[in-house]
Amino acid sequence: MAWRLDPRITQTLAKIVLWAFTGLTLLILIFIIVNISIKGLPQVTSAFLLQDPQDMGRHGGIFSTIVATIYLTLLAIALASPLGVGTAIYLTEYTREGWATRIIRFGAECLAGVPSIILGLFGFVLFVMKLGFGWSILSGSLTLAIMVLPIIIRTSEEAIKAVPQEYRQVCFSLGMSQWQTITRIVLPSALPGITTGIMLSVGRSLGETAVVLFTAGAALRTPASLFDSGRTMAVHFYILAREGLSMPNAYGTAAILMISILLINLVAYTLMQRLLRRYS
């Protein structure tokens, strides 16, 4: 008979290994956050936030990159939100499952899987070259909008689905039209979840580099119009780090970028959990 370990011992061993791996993953996460915060946060002063970069970013602050980041992100979200929420409403309220929904869902899933460098290539050839927008806030935010569209669709759909069916039945029994039901009851109830999708998209846009570098460019001036190029914080950090221009400024930029994204994600996650718990 083959020699076998007591199943209880195997179980203990398995648990030790699994928890060790989980612990390692947590350690990696903590290491990243602590390392960037400790080295980066001391650099973050009001001067760092409010001064423009000088000498290619070797000195000065990051004000113009903050402005460019905000412009790009806001415009991208403004473009993607109506499309994403509209798609989610159509998928949940207006159709039965069928070929149309399957194609739309499949399209959104595939779009979510398209790597950012491909989106960057696409934005570069269509918006920057063919349509002649050049490296600009407009080209950048159009491409970013396509990137975050699947995130908004998925979260909004989940949020709208979480609104109990009874709400809709009550509205119909009161004689409300479908559109009234959606705009007055369903959407307000699903709002925290839709906000989650939008916040996650903001987080994703803030951290994106490959798309922005090839569509919005890397000009250090504060963009004054939609057709001006702008350098986002993520791109600025990438250039500082890669060209070794200034380690302290790189750490400072990374700290602000990372902490704002993590906070946004955390709030988004809490909102969604609260929504799901309320209706389950």
Neighbours of 248 (CB within 10 A): 14
Q: Which of residues 78-97 bind other proteins (CB under 8 A)?
A: 82-83, 86-87, 89-91, 94
- Indicate the length of the chain as a whole number: 280
Angstrom distance (rounded) from CA 88 to CA 81: 10
Three-state secondary structure call for residue 60: strand
125 binds other proteins (CB under 8 A): yes
Q: Which of 136, 163, 195, 238 binds other proteins (CB under 8 A)?
A: 238
Closer to other proteins by CB, 11 or 224: give it: 11
Angstrom distance (rounded) from CA 79 to CA 93: 22
Site string for other proteins, 13-52 (x = CB under 8 A): -xx-xxx-xx-xxx-xx--xx-xx----------------
Tell me the torsion sign for CA atoms 217, 219, 220, 223. negative
| Distances from the Cα of 220 to the Cα of 53, 64, 70, 261, angstroms | 7, 7, 14, 22
114 binds other proteins (CB under 8 A): yes
Amino acid residing at 21: F
Tokens standing for 157? Answer: 């759909």
Piece of the chain touching other proteins by CB under 8 A; list 47-55, 59-67, 98-106, 159-167: 98-106
245 binds other proteins (CB under 8 A): no
Three-state secondary structure call for residue 71: helix
Q: Which of residues 48-77 bind other proteins (CB under 8 A)?
A: none
208 binds other proteins (CB under 8 A): yes
Count of residues touching other proteins (by CB under 8 A): 82
Q: Which of 66, 198, 254, 275 binds other proteins (CB under 8 A)?
A: 254
Q: Which of residues 144-203 bind other proteins (CB under 8 A)?
A: 146, 149-150, 153, 177-179, 203
